[in-house]
Amino acid sequence: MRLIKQFFTWWNGATWNTRFYTWRKGEHVGTDELGNRYYRAKSAIPDSIPERRWVIYSGYSEASQVPPGWHGWIHHRVDRPPSADDLKAREWEKPHHENLTGTGQAYRPPGSIASGLKPRKPDRGYSAWQPE
């Protein structure tokens, strides 16, 4: 079943075409704590065309799984890939979490449609007009 998913879907990891391209033209740069693997093109031309960078996700392809340090590298904000020394979190930083929108674990404030609770009607001090 995994073989079929890799052949026909792009959201369950890398497709065969992506794996072939990575094998042929990619240079492995590093792996993050979530198991995502980062690559760059071997044939980048310095000072003319920025090198091509990409990520192969360890599971479901979700861009919010890229940690902040690797996000900066993959978007050409920094030239060097992050190392373990660069990624030390400060005491005020929270751990990285992926975007949970659209899942059962998404935040649903009380009174929202998705929370399952009906919003409380405000007391407006008037009655709405009703046609006869």
What per-residue string of b and e applies to 52-66 under the rule 16 or more CB within 10 Å gives b? ebebbbeeebeeebb
3-state helix vs strand vs coil in the chain, percent to 5:
25, 10, 65
Among residues 127, 59, 63, which one has the least CA distance to residue 99?
A: 63
Q: What pLDDT, in 10s, does the model give residues 9-49?
A: 656 667 777 778 888 888 899 998 888 999 998 776 666 67
12 vs 97: CA distance, rounded Å: 19
Our measurement of the distance from residue 121's CA atom to the centroid of its chain's CA atoms, rounded to an integer in Å, reads 38
pLDDT in tens, 82-124: 876 666 778 888 777 778 887 788 887 776 766 665 556 666 6
Output the pLDDT for position 39. 92
- Per-domain residue ranges for the chain? 2-86
